[in-house]
Structure 1
Amino acid sequence: MTDPAAHTPRRRRAVAGRCREITEARWFAALVFCLILANAAVLGVETYSGLAERWHLALRTVEYSFLAAFTVEILLRAGAHAERPAAFFRDPWNLFDLTVVLFAFLPFLRENGTVLRLLRLARVLRAARFLPQLRVVLVAVGRSLPGTVSFLLVGGLLLYLYAMVGWICFSDSDPEHFGSLGRAILTLFLLMTLDGLGDAVRAGLEISRWSILYYASYVLFASFVLVNVLIGVVITSLDEARSMEEPAESPEPARPAPADAPLPNADAIVLRERVAAARRALDDLERALAAAPVEHTATALAPASRTRTD
């Protein structure tokens, strides 16, 4: 009697192979991508109140159909890892897809219309799985968050310092823009985009000619230095994300060349010179043996013959 447990790995292997054939097929990726785009279109239609009220039942049916299709998709992707289920949860995109689909079945979330719409909107982000460039950009945004937080801290400190200096210098003459710390921070935050910089400089020059140093130094640090630092952080994260997406190319071990393989030019020349030198040495040895007296040759061969006789 066969043990049923012995057939379990074989069944898992068969299920995983079949599911992998489906999920790795081009038609499957194209179908899921089209479903995501159709889901986005339906979400857009629901923003029109007249259409939403008229086609309420049809839109609800379409929504359930999308949910069923995405559920089947995530089950097929999980089935492709039937041999090693832990590998399914190591992929961040699988976790994201599973979260988006699973939360749609939770009762307390389905009762909240706003949360349910946000979850349905999150399905549109799943299109990044099928667009490599978009996936690289999203990964780069995620990897740039630590650097962006540092940028925000430095930018906030710079805004605070210049806002305090502006409040001290311009609060009495320009209370509309520097009457309080909050007004000063808002004014400087808008100046960071260089919007209204000319009007601010003219208003500052009416107060004091030294205000040009205040605005010039702020624009230099806030609009040029900090923004370029942020751009550098994003570009670095983009390069890292692109290198993560590219398959790691492991160098192949060097294989010995076959005996009849042609050698490089330099090695072939050296080898020819050595062969020619060996041939010349053999020719010289043959000529020397031919010119030697016969008795010397016999004398030299006598000990060898006596040794052979003994």
Structure 2
Amino acid sequence: MSGAPAPAERGEPAAPTDGQSRLVDGCRRLADSRPFEIGIVVVILANGVVLGLETYDGLIAPGAALHWLELFFRAVFVVEIGIRLAAYGRRPQDFFRHGWNVFDFVVIAAIFIPGLHGDPALLRVVRVARMIRLVRFSPGLRTIVAALWRSLPGVGGFLALAVVTLYVYGMAGWLIFGSRYPEEYGDIGRSLLTLFVLLSLETLPDLIEQGMAISPWTLLYYVSYVIITVNLLLNILIAVIVNSMEEARRLEMTERLAPGYDEDGDGVPDELDRIALTQRLDDLRAVIAELERELRIDRDDGHGRPHREDARAGR
């Protein structure tokens, strides 16, 4: 099986139906083709390379060449969006029912806003945003983005807990070290900034040395902070993201196993997720093992033939 995403997964229309024009049919075939996607990816990468080279002073002199390159990129992207819109035939509004299609349209259309051309920095931000479009052409990247999106509620709860923890330790640090080290703990703002930088553990030896000059008991402050925040809270954050990624992968698996996910129209899903297939096989093995235990069947009697223990006992 090819690793290319199917049209339903990319937010593109299904196979054509009778009565649609040859133009719509051709646009749909082109939008679904792998060479078309590869060509767009190459243009996006070339656009990114040009943007990167522009950051080096004197390497590329601004002039007509860059202007024509930018016009070429715009033309290619506009034609791409036009083909994808035309593939929907008489229902172009269906194009905007998919998030990635909306993002692509906004990024491409934003470059034509008149007000942007008076602000070079904002214009460059819009041009850089084109690079994000690479995500839609990679199933793995789409899964990661979907996982990050689904993890936002859990991350919000984590951030609330982290803010409370940092605030408590920040107030404690101000009470303990504020008078002695005002640059690090002179107020709650500096205290929180010091503890935030401490999350990297780079300043831990210096802070411990400062604390030991006051009292050996300050070691408990830093040890407990490192255990609770650096180890416990960050691990919770990782667990939330990993769990969301697993949910996103399962959701994608469910969509792939849905009856509608059938590109070749043979009535069978084109790609079966390996994990789902493995789980089904494990369930089948468990059922067979349970049946064997109930029927008291030996898997092998030494001659490669199964037999019943109760029948042997009755002889």
**Counterpart in the other structure of 1:108:** 115
Does 2:57 correspond to 1:64?
Answer: no
**Counterpart in the other structure of 2:39:** 31
Deviation at residue 240 of structure 1 after TM alignment: 2.2
Deviation at residue 150 of structure 1 after TM alignment: 2.2
Q: Distance in 1 between matches of 2:249 and 2:64?
A: 44
Q: Distance in 1 between matches of 2:22 and 2:157?
A: 50
C-alpha deviations, 1:243-272, integer Å up to 9, x for none? Answer: 33333314899xxxxxxxxxxxx9xxxxxx
Residue segments in structure 2 that go unaligned for 5+ positions in a row:
1-16, 260-266, 269-290, 292-315
Secondary structure in 2 matching 1:49: coil
Does 2:250 correspond to 1:243?
Answer: yes
Q: Distance in 2 between matches of 1:177 and 1:109?
A: 42
Secondary structure in 2 matching 1:248: helix
Deviation at residue 22 of structure 1 after TM alignment: 0.3
TM-score between both structures, scaled by the size of structure 2? 0.72
Secondary structure in 1 matching 2:161: helix
C-alpha deviations, 1:273-300, integer Å up to 9, x for none? Answer: xxxxxxxxxxxxxxxxxxxxxxxxxxxx
C-alpha deviations, 1:126-168, integer Å up to 9, x for none? Answer: 1111111122222222222232222222211111111111111
Does 2:184 correspond to 1:177?
Answer: yes
Q: Distance in 1 between matches of 2:217 and 2:59?
A: 61
| Correspondence 1:1-310 to 2 at 5 A | 12-53=20-61, 55-246=62-253, 247-250=255-258
Return closer, same or farther for 1:48/1:199 CA change in 2, 3 Å cut-off. Answer: closer
Q: Distance in 2 between matches of 1:197 and 1:106?
A: 49
Q: Distance in 1 between matches of 2:63 and 2:153?
A: 44
Deviation at residue 13 of structure 1 after TM alignment: 4.8
Deviates more, 1:152-161 or 1:226-235: 152-161
Q: Distance in 2 between matches of 1:249 and 1:171?
A: 60
Q: Distance in 1 between matches of 2:197 and 2:56?
A: 35
**Counterpart in the other structure of 1:293:** none
Deviation at residue 212 of structure 1 after TM alignment: 1.7
Deviation at residue 99 of structure 1 after TM alignment: 0.1
Secondary structure in 1 matching 2:107: helix
Q: Distance in 2 between matches of 1:202 and 1:112?
A: 50
Deviation at residue 20 of structure 1 after TM alignment: 1.0
Q: Distance in 2 between matches of 1:103 and 1:176?
A: 45
For these two proteins, the number of residue pairs brought into alignment is 246
Q: Distance in 1 between matches of 2:251 and 2:84?
A: 22
State whether residues 137 and 238 of structure 1, in contact with CA within 8 Å, keep that contact through their aligned partners in structure 2. yes
Q: Which amino acid is 2:147 matched to? A: A
**Counterpart in the other structure of 2:6:** none
Whichever of the two has the greater Rg, that structure is 1
Deviation at residue 179 of structure 1 after TM alignment: 1.6
Q: Distance in 2 between matches of 1:14 and 1:145?
A: 44
Provide the aligned C-alpha RMSD in A: 2.3
Deviation at residue 11 of structure 1 after TM alignment: 6.3
Q: Distance in 2 between matches of 1:52 and 1:245?
A: 44
Deviation at residue 177 of structure 1 after TM alignment: 1.8
C-alpha deviations, 1:109-142, integer Å up to 9, x for none? Answer: 2222111111110111111111111222222222
Secondary structure in 2 matching 1:36: helix
